[in-house]
Amino acid sequence: MNMKRRRRVVITGIGIVSPLGVGVEENWSSLIRGESGIGPITYFDASSFVTRIAGQVKGFKPEDFISKKELRKMDPFLRIALAAARLAVEDGKLKISGEMADRAGVILGCGLGGLTTIEEYHKILLDSGPKKISPFFIPMLIGNMAPGLISIYHGAKGPNLSVQTACAAGTHAVGQAYHMIRDGMADIMLTGGVESTITPLGVAGFNAMRALSTRNDEPEKASRPFDRDRDGFVLGEGGAVLILEEMESALEREARIYAEIIGFGASGDAFHMAAPAPDGEGAARCMHNALLDAGVAPDEVQYINAHGTSTDLNDKYETQAIKTVFGEHAKQLGVSSTKSMTGHLLGAAGGVEAAYTALTLDRQMMPPTMNYENPDPDCDLDYVPNKAREAAIDVALSNSFGFGGTNGTLVFRRWSARQD
């Protein structure tokens, strides 16, 4: 499509449920203060596990958003998705009705779906037999039920999709929603990511991969992206839904605009099931593709919300990828990993971090990378260490890289009604 004919896409509502709290203001204030949402696992007895800490959602009461009758039919990830969507719709003062409904859709990313439900009903099957399995078992666990339920609750009759690309799912969902609006397939999209897999099987599985931090005695210091002493990521849960809207529609209804999305890039490593491609080659291509889609030069970017998982190779190779794409300008960038406070939300990470990046532009403040205490010679960029920073930010990126070598990058611009 000719660049001049692209429709502009803005963010007009944000809903977040995360280890830092419920809603925009709780999340933002915790981010800026550098507070950690990571602590001991309380959902099950983790005393025999190698890792006994996680980023559980904070202050979340599902019954505040969903009736008790409906809650019984929902896995935790569905509860989070519906709550985040309701928060976004309320924040954006959006009511989907009439002819608008056909042009309003939902795309949500999710990595593993209803793992809690799978574990629960597998036990029921073994203990009591197949006749005790609920008819809601399958609907409770499939990933596409999150966008499905959101569309049902809010009357969105446009495109309805689920993206399941591991840790890049939320970013890919937002990117696809952006392209749908930009290219005329929809006018409004509710999009983002959701995940809830802090379960015995989830923790045991990542422990078997030796992927998780074992810093159990200092939970708040366990996630330490780019730090020399990082020892793995911290499993988190949560979700974010953003309202993406065609600019003219948003202006017509006098919506509050947080930021503009101007580009999306994706790539595949074609290398390994779990490890990133050497030197971040795939991540570099992804960021390059996103900048090309946005039509901006590398030196126009001021900030990157990094994937920054706190794992050895990811942090090293993402740093190398940034240097490959940005050259000397890489030293001028603020690069922070909000996973240092939330943990790694898997399929929800890209959605939550897209929300945080939009807020970074809206409020002209870079969140910190917490626990950056011992510099790693291989990680030598400005990671906004340990303290939030006021800064003039016009263009920002958000990165997500997932198992299977799937990569996604979003490009955001500070909101301005002008067309550059």
Give the long-range contacts of residues 136-145, CB within 8 A, separation 24 or more.
Answer: 136/73, 139/73, 140/73, 140/74, 140/75, 140/78, 140/114, 141/75, 141/113, 141/114, 141/115, 141/117, 142/113, 142/114, 143/110, 143/112, 143/113, 143/347, 145/78
In terms of DSSP H, where are the helices of 76-230? 76-91, 115-128, 137-141, 145-154, 169-182, 200-208
- Reference 261, options 242, 279, 277; nearest CA is 242
Which residues, at least 6 apart from 164, have a Cβ–Cβ distance to it below 8 Å?
A: 109, 110, 111, 113, 143, 347
Tell me the backbone φ, ψ of residue 242, rounded to 5 degrees.
-115, 145
Residue 278: count of CB within 10 angstroms of its CB: 14
Calculate Rg over the CA atoms of the chain. 20
d(CA 303, CA 243): 22
Residues ≥6 apart with Cβ < 8 Å to 316: 376, 378, 379
Catalytic residue positions? 167, 307, 344
| CA 38/CA 299 separation, integer angstroms | 35
